[in-house]
């Protein structure tokens, strides 16, 4: 990838909170409190963390709750704003009191850990952190500490001492052998005169960092928030060609690191996958380091890569952690403008945002999916947080473009009060969807690699907007074949009011398809033998496979060409045959439907009614319908279950279309829901943070022929609770 384009991409994306003045060496500025590294924190009653596993018939392991605590599963997050300004004990108490009053349950603390610290400075910071941890726990809250994992900033390092000057061999190297180091003026978070160096996770830095993680775990903190565990591509392309990286790749694969970018070469494609695997192992080691000191310590990786192409470029693929014990993500979900949030987003930009939150929820598995919820003003912030909650993610509410303060205290208090009141319904419920959409990391990496990430759709900066995510047309998801087909499916499902879940590929198992009736595989070209076997069994036992694209399963999971399609038996045609434009055939107890074109990509770009008429009948014919609505297509519907309840989440996007100014436009529609077999309707209730309080309010309904029907008005976000007896 062109280095200038990569820099534009990542200058926009990988952010940092610079809370201390450049050159500060004090840790929190409160070392006079007399805390020591070994001082025990104030006790909290441990939350049980089920770690039971069971072996599956396919040889994989099923993780039960994956070792995460109830506090993290039900987290309402905020930054400890103001912690950096040499706070006294009274000021720390004020920070905690303020956040507690806003219904925050987990504090993310960020101080000087982005900077190069001597052992003495680090230990001073750790001692002070111990005191703050005690105070947070005494308030009945939890605390995690932000600590960048592969970037070190040296204040004044351009002209004075710096980490890179002290340890030049520890840096990542680009494909051209250049060290991944730069000075202020390249990206906004590195001030002029400062140095930023990105370290190899395979060199001496690994042990250095893990040892410091253990010291943080000993402070009584509840968890760690490691950031930027990636191969930064802002100034150096395709890292890590350092001796450490080359040796690690050779040990893992028996291959030499490819000397040039060549997508036709198997070694290059294997190296792309290895970078995902290598960073994932580093994250597992971080989590293990923390738990070696404190078995209750949890790790929340700040992850900027979502469902689009960034993961290919910078290596970090969040879905690899899905089944790992005790470690999950804090997803940095971007908005379309750092200066204006989503206020000027197009309808398709909102579809992209929904797609990212759906991916975040899926890639986190059964574990909590912490996610950034950006806003500029209360109204657009509410629209974003509505999507966070509807998709089942835990909100980290912040005001764009920073990550330290919320949009407003009343907004956070009201919305977090709603989340607190309905936490079990939001975060402990299970899916009611019968349709699964497959996100393939292999297809993202290997299907028609082109420049640009595909983060959002619109690359035309609206008038009066200071900063837009990108003005480079190649960046748009409209220009990406596989991503366009994938995001087009998201758009079609949202417009069709079809509840669906995303499934992710690196840890895909047969058990993941239990309960689903339709499996959608958009432009599924790169397919492993294991994936093919899982889907084949799904179809044979009664599932419907909807697959699109001109070359279905023509490559394996590493992008290597196959002699024949892996799914030829399901498709009933071979690679050397003329591909039929449409296949619709029974296989076992199930059905396979294949479209040789890319209809969803067309739907993404043009919202073509004819495409909806082709695809939606396949979905509705293959999946049991539990809910119907005549709502506008811009109303997003999610369906879940909790105890004896069905939960319907609605977000209203009818008033957000650009180029008109962002506005909230309430919408009214009718909802029909199927009554479960052998059940009766107990009540229909509704709750919304748009109301004056979080309480459930009764709704009138009609009942007929096994269905209930009721009218609904949605302002921005509403949860409907259907209680069955």
Choose between 48 and 630: higher pLDDT: 630
Give the strand pairing for 327-331 and 298-303. parallel
Q: Is the pLDDT at 693 greater than 50, yes or no?
A: yes
- Kindly state the percentage of the chain with pLDDT values over 90: 84
pLDDT tens string 571-587: 999 999 999 999 999 99
- What does pTM read for this prediction? 0.93
Segment 215-227, tens digit of pLDDT: 999 999 999 999 9
pLDDT for residue 46 is more than 80: no
Read off the DSSP letter of residue 433. Answer: -
Average pLDDT over residues 329-341: 96
- Rounded distance between C-alpha atoms, residue 342 and residue 405, angstroms: 17
pLDDT at 360 over 80: yes
Residues 668-687: tens digit of each pLDDT: 999 999 999 999 999 999 99
Domain with CATH 3.40.50.880 in the chain: 435-622
Q: Can you give the pLDDT at residue 656?
A: 84
* DSSP conformation letters of 253-299: HS-PPPSS--TT-HHHHHHHHHHHHHHHHHHHHHHHHHHHH-TT-EE
Put residue 549 in one of left, alpha, beta given phi > 0 → left and psi -120 to 50 → alpha. left
The residue-averaged pLDDT of 399-419 equals 94
Measured CA distances, 672 to 141, 371, 491, 720 (Å): 41, 31, 22, 12
Does position 40 have pLDDT exceeding 80, yes or no?
no
Q: 185 in helix, strand or coil?
A: coil
**pLDDT value for 86:** 59
What is the model's pLDDT at position 316?
98
**Section 332-336 average pLDDT:** 97
Residue 20: the pLDDT is: 33
Supply the Cα-derived Rg of the chain in whole angstroms.
25
| Sign of the dihedral through C-alpha 524, 525, 526, 527 | positive
Binned at pLDDT 50, 70 and 90, residue 569 comes out as: very high
Give per-residue pLDDT as tens, 248-285: 999 999 999 999 999 999 999 999 999 999 999 999 99
Query: Which of 187, 452, 466, 234 has the alpha carbon at shortest distance from 337?
Result: 466
pLDDT confidence of residue 2: 45
Give residue 682's pLDDT: 96
Residue 84: pLDDT band by 50, 70, 90 thresholds?
Answer: low
Select the CATH number that applies to the domain covering 627-724 from these four: 3.20.20.70, 1.10.1740.10, 2.60.40.1180, 2.60.40.1510.
2.60.40.1180
Question: Cis ω on the peptide bond leading into residue 480 (within 30° of 0)?
Answer: no
pLDDT, position 62: 40
- Whether residue 432 contacts residue 640, with contact meaning beta carbons closer than 8 Å, is answered with yes
- 590 vs 612: CA distance, rounded Å: 22
pLDDT for res 659: 59
Position 24 pLDDT exceeds 90? no
717 pLDDT exceeds 50?
Answer: yes
**Rounded to an integer, what distance in angstroms lies between the CA atom of residue 263 and that of residue 269?**
6
CATH number of 435-622: 3.40.50.880
Q: At what angle do helices 481-495 and 347-363 cross, to 10 degrees?
A: 100
DSSP 67: G
**Concatenated DSSP letters of 626-642:** -EEE---TTEEEEEEEE
Give me the percent of the chain exceeding a pLDDT of 70: 90
Give 661's pLDDT tier (boundaries 50, 70, 90): confident
| Per-residue pLDDT tens over the stretch 591-609 | 999 999 999 999 999 999 9
What does the pLDDT read at residue 376? 97
CATH 2.60.40.1180 residue ranges of the chain are 627-724
3-state DSSP assignment of residue 508: coil
Query: How far is it between the farthest Cα atoms of the chain?
Result: 78
**Dihedral over alpha carbons 556, 558, 560, 563 (to 10 degrees):** -10
pLDDT-derived band of residue 23, with 50, 70 and 90 as boundaries?
very low
* Higher per-residue pLDDT: 8 or 420: 420
């Amino acid at each position: 990838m062109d280095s200038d384009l990569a820099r534009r991409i990542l200058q926009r994306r990988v952010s940092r909170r610079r809370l201390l003045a450049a050159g500060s060496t004090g840790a929190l500025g409160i070392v006079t409190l007399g805390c020591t590294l070994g001082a025990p924190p104030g006790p909290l009653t441990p939350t049980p963390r089920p770690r039971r596993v069971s072996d599956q018939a396919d040889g994989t392991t099923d993780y039960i709750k994956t070792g995460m605590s109830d506090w993290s599963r039900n987290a309402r997050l905020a930054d400890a704003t103001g912690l950096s300004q040499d706070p006294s004990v009274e000021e720390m108490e004020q920070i905690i009191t303020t956040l507690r009053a806003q219904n925050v349950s987990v504090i993310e603390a960020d101080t000087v850990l982005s900077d190069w610290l001597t052992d003495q400075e680090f230990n001073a910071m750790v001692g002070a952190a111990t005191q703050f941890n005690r105070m947070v726990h005494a308030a009945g809250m939890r605390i995690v500490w932000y600590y960048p994992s592969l970037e070190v900033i040296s204040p004044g390092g351009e002209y004075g001492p710096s980490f890179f000057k002290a340890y030049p061999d520890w840096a990542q190297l680009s494909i051209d052998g250049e060290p991944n180091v730069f000075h202020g003026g390249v990206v906004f978070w590195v001030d002029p005169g400062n140095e930023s160096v990105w370290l190899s996770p395979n060199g001496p830095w690994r042990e250095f960092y893990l040892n410091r993680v253990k010291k943080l775990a000993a402070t009584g903190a509840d968890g760690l928030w490691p950031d930027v565990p990636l191969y930064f591509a802002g100034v150096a392309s395709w890292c890590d060609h350092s001796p450490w990286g080359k040796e690690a790749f050779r040990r893992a694969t028996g291959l030499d690191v490819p000397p040039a970018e060549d997508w036709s070469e198997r070694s290059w494609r294997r190296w792309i996958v290895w970078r995902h695997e290598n960073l994932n192992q580093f994250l597992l080691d971080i989590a293990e380091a923390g738990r070696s000191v404190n078995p209750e310590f949890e790790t929340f990786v700040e992850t900027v890569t979502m469902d689009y192409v960034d993961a290919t470029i910078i290596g970090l693929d969040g879905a690899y952690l899905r089944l790992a014990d005790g470690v999950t993500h804090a997803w940095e979900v971007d908005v379309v403008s750092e200066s204006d949030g989503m206020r000027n987003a197009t309808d398709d930009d909102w579809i992209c945002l929904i797609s990212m939150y759906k991916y975040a929820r899926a890639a986190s598995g059964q574990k909590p999916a912490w996610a950034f919820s950006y806003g500029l003003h209360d109204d657009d912030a509410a629209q974003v947080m509505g999507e966070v909650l509807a998709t089942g993610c835990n909100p980290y509410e912040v005001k764009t473009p920073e990550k330290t303060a919320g949009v407003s205290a009343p907004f956070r208090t009201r919305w977090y009060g709603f989340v607190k009141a309905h936490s079990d319904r939001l975060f402990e419920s299970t899916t009611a969807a019968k349709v699964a959409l497959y996100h393939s990391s292999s297809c993202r990496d290997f299907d028609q690699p082109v420049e640009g990430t595909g983060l959002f759709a619109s690359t035309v900066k609206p008038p009066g907007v200071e900063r837009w995510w990108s003005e480079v047309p190649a960046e748009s998801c409209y220009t990406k074949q596989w991503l366009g087909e994938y995001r087009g499916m998201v758009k079609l499902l949202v417009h069709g009011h079809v509840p669906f879940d995303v499934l992710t590929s690196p840890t895909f198992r047969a058990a993941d398809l239990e309960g689903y009736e339709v499996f959608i595989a958009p432009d599924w070209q790169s397919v492993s033998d294991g994936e093919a076997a899982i889907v084949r069994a799904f179809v044979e036992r009664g599932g419907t496979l909807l697959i699109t694209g001109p070359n279905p399963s023509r490559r394996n999971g590493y992008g290597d060409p196959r002699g024949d399609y892996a799914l030829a038996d399901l498709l009933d045609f071979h690679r050397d045959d003329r591909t039929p434009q449409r296949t619709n055939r029974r296989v076992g107890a199930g059905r396979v439907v294949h479209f040789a074109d890319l209809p969803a990509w067309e739907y993404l770009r043009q919202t073509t009614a004819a495409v909806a008429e082709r695809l939606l009948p396949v979905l509705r014919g293959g999946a049991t319908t539990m809910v119907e609505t005549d709502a506008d297509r811009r109303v997003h519907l999610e369906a879940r279950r909790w105890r004896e309840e069905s939960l319907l989440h609605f977000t209203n996007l009818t008033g957000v279309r650009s180029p008109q100014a962002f506005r909230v436009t309430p919408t009214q529609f009718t909802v029909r829901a199927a009554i479960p077999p052998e059940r009766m309707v107990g009540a229909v209730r509704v709750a919304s943070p748009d109301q004056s309080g979080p309480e459930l309010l009764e709704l009138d309904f009609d009942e007929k022929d096994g269905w209930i029907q009721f009218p609904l008005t949605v302002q921005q976000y509403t949860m409907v609770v259907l209680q069955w007896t």
